[in-house]
């Protein structure tokens, strides 16, 4: 869950950064990125609140900076959009697996990850809408 919370916080930062940085994508896509930021923040807050209920803290365990470095190295908005869509799709699939795993033992946590997985469908779809990408291509 700590990894998932970090990924959501990273998504907040990445979409905020990309909406400022990339002038080479349609204005509408930059608006779509900005519009997504509160939803990524909601995902982060839902996970952190549930972790607190379960008695876990956000300990200072090292988390990988690899994705962040790879995202901020993108030369174009299209490259960023495709790269983050792949990462979000991986996260969405992990959330779907977690939901199945937790369904019986921890339905509250499962419901949080189900909501996140449902929201991520639209995030991943931006790469399809603007650049014709689909997860099946990978
Ligand atoms: Fe998210
Ligand atoms: Fe997302």
* Cα–Cα distance, 14 to 103 (Å, whole number): 31
The pLDDT value given to residue 93: 94
Distance 58 CA to ligand 1 centre (A): 17
The pLDDT value given to residue 117: 97
Residues of the chain with pLDDT under 50: none
Q: Which two tokens stand for residue 20?
A: 């400022």
In this prediction the pTM is 0.87
Closest ligand by atom to 122 CA = 2
The pLDDT value given to residue 60: 56
Q: Is residue 78 within 8 Å of 46, Cβ to Cβ?
A: no
**11-40 pLDDT per residue, tens:** 999 999 999 999 999 999 999 999 999 999
Distance 113 CA to ligand 1 centre (A): 10
Name the nearest CA neighbour of 7 among 117, 87, 101: 87
Ion ligand 2 — residues with CB < 5 Å: 11, 88, 120, 123
Distance 9 CA to ligand 1 centre (A): 8
Rounded to 10°, the helix 2-21/77-102 angle is: 160
Closest ligand by atom to 89 CA = 2
The upper half-sphere exposure of residue 122, i.e. CA atoms within 13 Å in the direction of its Cβ, equals 12
Name the nearest CA neighbour of 16 among 2, 40, 45, 37: 37
The upper half-sphere exposure of residue 88, i.e. CA atoms within 13 Å in the direction of its Cβ, equals 31
The pLDDT value given to residue 127: 97
């Amino acid at each position: 869950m700590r990894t998932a919370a970090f990924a959501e916080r990273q998504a907040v930062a990445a979409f905020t950064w990309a909406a400022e940085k990339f002038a080479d994508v349609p204005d509408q896509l930059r608006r779509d990125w900005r519009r997504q930021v509160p939803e990524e923040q909601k995902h982060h807050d839902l996970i952190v609140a549930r972790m607190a209920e379960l008695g876990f803290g956000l300990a200072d365990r090292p988390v990988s900076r690899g994705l962040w470095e790879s995202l901020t190295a993108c030369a174009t908005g299209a490259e960023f959009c495709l790269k983050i869509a792949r990462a979000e799709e991986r996260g969405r699939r992990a959330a779907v697996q977690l939901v199945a795993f937790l369904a019986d033992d921890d339905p509250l946590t499962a419901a949080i990850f189900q909501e996140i997985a449902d929201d991520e469908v639209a995030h991943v779809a931006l790469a399809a809408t603007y650049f014709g990408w689909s997860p099946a291509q990978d």
